[in-house]
Amino acid sequence: MPTEIMPLPGRVESLAGSGLATIPKEYVRPESERDNLGDAFDEALKLNSSGPQVPVVDLSGFDSPDEAVRAKCVEELKKAAEDWGVMHIVNHRIPLELIDRVREVGKGFFDLPVEQKEKYANDQASGEIQGYGSKLANNESGQLEWEDYYFHLIFPEEKTDLSRWPKEPEDYTEVTKEFAKELRVVVTKMLSMLSQGLGLESGKLEKELGGMDDLLMQMKINYYPKCPQPELALGVEAHTDVSSLTFLLTNMVPGLQLYYGGKWVIAQCVPDSLLVHIGDTLEILSNGRYRSILHRSLVNKERVRISWAVFCEPPKETIVLKPLPELVTEVAPAKFPPRTFKQHIQQKLFKKTEEDFTSLK
């Protein structure tokens, strides 16, 4: 009996390019998710200078020979991690020309015809998550997200599978490898500063996360096509990141929205910066002192948005995540039961609302 061949899931890019005036019902978010949901450009315009702004941290202070300047930089990062759980970092020392090349090769891949990109399609059903894909319904409501993406491991280099990387554009691999190496230096610096912010030795957090050998960096390039009804759709639904840190680079089109102070606030685009999220893993290790913030991605009618998210993750099963003993006291008892990273991912799989996340934590 012949095996039934299932058609590939449709790509959002193809849907968006078909000229439709209304989006299919599978992409329409329920009423409960439409608070401050709208065109990303309109939402960015609403956020004036008096509204809450994602903090900007200048990392150059941490390289100063002046101990007081270094301490001030650590304090600024600590405050942003505790209050927002997200910050723009500037003077991160990744060459801006390299960042421009990362943008170019990522856009170059998504500029290829869909049929060409399908050669790199992932296969979620078989567990092959690396490659080109679109969100398949795996939540309780069955809603789909207005994005396509490319996902693959970029560091440590010896653990990468280059057969799952795009071969087009030709310099994609070279550029991405170089970016991964440069970003890994920033990861160590950020973890060192965040360790010091908790009163710990500078290498403590990185060691707890697996160190240079086992801390993984997974890149997801998110491609958000133009959407005819951005007030009804989401590029990525509300979630917190399971990672330790997430680094975000964009093509300077707004869309990231953060749940801060009881309302949704859009993040402004800051030139020459990387945006960094504190993930669940650091919230657990810090016993809740650092915050993993709920966020989502808006879409818009006018411009394609592309973002490059790099998730810094501990090994899935060899490390037990729990609040660090140095941060647990009678006054501040442990807020999180021990779990492996794999167990944490499984626990969160269907947790999508503010209430669900509150109950998890």
Q: Buried b vs exposed e over 30-67: b needs ≥16 C-beta within 10 Å?
A: eeebeeebbbbbebbeeeeeeeebbbebbbebbeeeee
Q: Which of 241, 277, 344, 351 is catalytic?
A: 241
SS3 262: coil
Q: Which of 189, 239, 344, 351 is catalytic?
A: 239
- The verdict on whether 239 is a catalytic residue reads yes
Q: Which of 78, 92, 135, 220 is catalytic?
A: 220
Alpha helices in the chain (DSSP H): 12-16, 40-46, 67-83, 96-110, 114-117, 172-197, 204-208, 211-214, 280-285, 341-348, 354-360
Instruction: Measure Cα distances from 355 to 37, 137, 351, 358 in Å.
Output: 18, 21, 9, 5
In whole angstroms, give the CA distance from residue 207 to residue 60. 24
Contact 341, 242 (CB under 8 A): yes
- The verdict on whether 344 is a catalytic residue reads no
The amino acid present at 69, given as its one-letter code, is V
- The verdict on whether 152 is a catalytic residue reads no
- The verdict on whether 241 is a catalytic residue reads yes
In whole angstroms, give the CA distance from residue 173 to residue 167. 7
Q: Which of 295, 344, 351, 352 is catalytic?
A: 295
Residues recognised as catalytic? 220, 239, 241, 295
